[in-house]
């Protein structure tokens, strides 16, 4: 049955609904966070959804849902608490590539059973390294040291593994994109290109802000 579903492309409305629902859930989880002093930012549970979506739906869906959800959720949070505006593109610059990393490694059959937990661990390592690079450029060595705290997101790995196991048990399938027919290669290429553009723009904003100081002040003082 799953194979038959996988052979047919789902209607466009299902792609929109999937991205809309999961993007909204991502935004909600990113928005309700424990805010910490700059340059650390905040800690939240959205890493669980990044891991789960990137594996269950694949890297393309993981990328676009993470980009949309983090941009909206963290954008609202950062604006509300008065953190530096550059934190908004900073979140996308690091967490969107994290979704890609988790999706590609997590679906690499050559890695066997360890592929999914390994993907999540590598994702957290990248997240930490990415924030260290960005914050070193923006805030100097003190900022880079402070965001080493990001590695605490490793605690969400077992939670995500349990969530993935529960979803698979409920739907009786390994991957939801194939199960639902969300397999159109053109759509996935579109998600990858769109997400890639957002990542590139975000890093450009970080580069410019580090040179000019733009973005160091709150979006709405």
pTM above 0.85, yes or no: yes
pLDDT digits (tens, 9 = 90+) for 52-61: 999 999 999 9
Please give the pLDDT value at position 4. Answer: 44
Pick the more confident residue, 212 or 3. 212
Helix axis angle for 59-81 and 46-56, nearest 10°, is 160
Give backbone dihedrals phi and psi of 164, rounded to 5 degrees, phi first. -65, -45
Is 9:181 a contact under the CB 8 Å cutoff?
A: yes
Please give the pLDDT value at position 41. Answer: 63
pLDDT digits (tens, 9 = 90+) for 162-208: 999 999 999 999 999 999 999 999 999 999 999 999 999 999 999 99
Please give the pLDDT value at position 154. Answer: 96
**Residue 221: helix, strand or coil by DSSP?**
coil
What is the fold of 2-212? Arp2/3 complex 21 kDa subunit ARPC3 (1.10.1760)
Is 63:198 a contact under the CB 8 Å cutoff?
A: no
**Residue 107: helix, strand or coil by DSSP?**
coil
Q: Which residues of 193-221 are buried (b: 16+ CB within 10 A; e: fewer)?
A: eebeebbeebbebbeebbeeeebeeebee
């Amino acid at each position: 049955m799953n194979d038959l579903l996988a052979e047919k492309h789902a209607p466009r409305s299902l792609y929109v609904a999937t991205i809309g629902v999961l993007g909204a859930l991502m935004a909600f989880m990113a928005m309700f966070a424990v805010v910490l002093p700059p340059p650390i930012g905040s800690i939240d549970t959205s890493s669980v959804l990044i891991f789960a979506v990137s594996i269950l739906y694949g890297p393309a869906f993981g990328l676009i849902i993470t980009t949309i959800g983090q941009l909206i959720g963290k954008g609202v949070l950062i604006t509300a608490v008065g953190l530096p505006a550059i934190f908004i593109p900073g979140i996308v610059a690091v967490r969107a590539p994290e979704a890609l990393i988790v999706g590609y490694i997590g679906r690499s059959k050559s890695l066997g059973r360890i592929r999914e937990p390994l993907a999540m661990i590598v994702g957290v390592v990248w997240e930490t390294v990415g924030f260290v690079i960005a914050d070193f450029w923006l805030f100097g060595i003190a900022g880079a040291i402070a965001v080493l705290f990001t590695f605490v997101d490793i605690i969400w790995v077992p939670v995500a593994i349990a969530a993935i196991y529960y979803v698979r048990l409920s739907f009786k399938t390994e991957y939801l994109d194939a199960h639902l027919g969300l397999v159109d290669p053109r759509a996935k290429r579109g998600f990858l290109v769109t997400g890639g553009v957002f990542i590139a723009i975000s890093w450009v904003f970080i580069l410019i802000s580090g040179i000019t100081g733009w973005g160091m002040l709150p979006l709405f003082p």
